[in-house]
Homo-oligomer: A and B are copies of this chain.
C-alpha cells in the first residue's frame, strides 16, 4: 500500500476530530504559561502537567518531567524554579526510524490592555481563525503532534516511526537549560534519533506553505568609550574635553553605509557566493516588495526585486546599530556630557563566516578607527552575545519527507525559505544529535506571534496535523 493510500483514513479521522482538536488547543491556550512573568511561573508548571496528562492518555511511554533546577539571576525570587522539559516516547521499535519532535509550551506575555480584541488566554474562533496567545507560537504545533497520535489511535494505524517528544517551557525566555539537556541526553534519552522536526516558525506569506532550511546567526557587540569619572555639565565642560559621545559616533558611523553594506574589511569576503543552484531556489518563492513595505509600515526598503530582498534577509550578513547605554535617552533637553557610553550593534551572520575571525575583524576595525581619532578617551570593544547560523541541505531525506507531506496536503511544492533571525536550538540538535533538522511550520506569516491578536487559521491547524502526520509516514518510507 502506498503512503498516500494508508494516509486516507488517517486524514478522514483528522477532519472528523477537528472539534476535539480545537478543544484540546483551547485547553492549552487557557493556561497562561508566560515564562517571562515570574508571577505566572505556576501556570507554566500547570501547562507542563497538562501535557503530561495528555501524553499519558495518548499512551506515551517513559514520560519524564526533567527538573532544570533554580533559574539563575536576574530574578526577583532567588528560588524561582525553572519549568521542566517534558520528554516522552511513542514506540521503541529498533526496526523503525526515530524522529524527535521539538516544541515549546511557554508563551509570550499578553494582556487585554495591550490592545487585544478578545481575552488573550481564551481561544476564540472568529471566521476561520483561532485567536489566542500561543495559538500559533507554539501551542498549536505542540498540540498538533498530540492530535496526530490521537488520530493514529482512532483509526488503528501504527505510528510509522518511533516518536520522541521534547517540549520545553522556557523558549520565550532564552531556552534556559535546554542546550545542556540535549547535550546530556544525546546518547541517552535521544539515542538513536534519526531526524529532528521543529514546528515553531511560519510561512513566509499567507498562502503558500514553506520548509525552512536556513537561519542567520548573530554576533552582538558593544563599544565602550569612557572619559570623565562622572557625567559632566556641557556648559562647564563643553569645548574643553574629549567627549565620549563624539568619539562613539565617529566610530559607529563608519561600521555600515546607508545602504546596509558592512564597511569592516574582511567581513563580506567571508560570505559564500550564491551558486546558480541556490539562486534557482528563490525563483518559485511567492513574495513581493509590497509585502515588505506592508510589514515595515513604510516604503523604506533597499530593494525592489524579490530575490534581492530575500537573499539580503536570509543569506547575506547585515549590521544594525541598536542603541547607546549611558547616554541621555529621555524626552526633552538634558545638557549632559555622558561620562561613559556603550554603543550596541550586531552583525547577522551567514555561511561561510567564521565567528572568531569576524570578532577579530570587528575588534581590529573599531580599534583602528578609534586610534585614528587621536582622542584621550578610553575604548573597549567586546562580543557580548553570539549565536551561529544554520543551513541545511533542503533536499535530504528529512526535507524530502516534509516536502512530500506538504505537497500531499496542500497540493503545492513548498517554498524553500530561510529566516533572517535565529532559532539557536536548531543548531544544537544538529550538532549534539549529529542528525538533520527540518523546520516545518504550521502557521502563516501574518499570525502575529509575539503581537496582539495572535491567531492560527483553522485550515493551518487541521491541515497542519495532516502534514505533520504525513511527514512521519514519508520519512519512514523514504529514509535510507
Contact = CB atoms under 8 A, between A and B. Distances in A.
Contact of A300 (B256, B257, B327, B377): B377
A375 B298 CA distance: 13
Contact of A346 (B234, B246, B309): B234
B420 A316 contact: no
A238 B322 contact: no
B238 A348 contact: yes
B239 A313 contact: yes
A283 to B, nearest CB: 19
Q: How many copies does the complex hold?
A: 2
Interface stretch (A82-90, A247-255, A390-398): A247-255
A152 B313 CA distance: 81
A376 B335 CA distance: 30
B346 A335 contact: yes
Interface residues of A, number: 80
Nearest to A370: B258
A284 interface: no
Contact of A328 (B243, B322, B377, B420): B322
B420 A238 contact: yes
Interface string A323-338: 1110111111111111
A325 B323 CA distance: 9
Interface in A276-308: 292, 295-303
Contact of A299 (B245, B292, B332, B376): B376
A336 B323 CA distance: 9
A235 B292 contact: no
A181 B13 CA distance: 83
A258 B373 contact: yes
A422 B336 CA distance: 14
Contacts of A238: 260, 313, 318-320, 346, 348, 420
A218 B333 CA distance: 11
Given A260-B240, A302-B240, A316-B239, A234 B322 contact: yes
A243 B253 CA distance: 12
Interface in A225-271: 227-230, 232-243, 245-247, 249-250, 252-253, 256-258, 260
Nearest to A257: B246
A75 B333 CA distance: 17
A156 interface: no
Contacts of A377: 300
Q: Which of A235, A245, A301 has the most CB of B within 10 A?
A: A235
B338 A227 contact: no
Given A235-B420, A245-B320, 20 more contacts: A216-B235, A222-B333, A227-B298, A228-B298, A230-B297, A233-B420, A235-B421, A238-B313, A238-B318, A238-B320, A239-B420, A240-B318, A242-B258, A243-B320, A245-B321, A246-B258, A250-B253, A250-B258, A333-B346, A333-B385
13 contacts: A229-B296, A234-B346, A238-B260, A239-B318, A239-B348, A240-B302, A240-B313, A249-B249, A252-B253, A299-B376, A322-B334, A323-B327, A325-B330
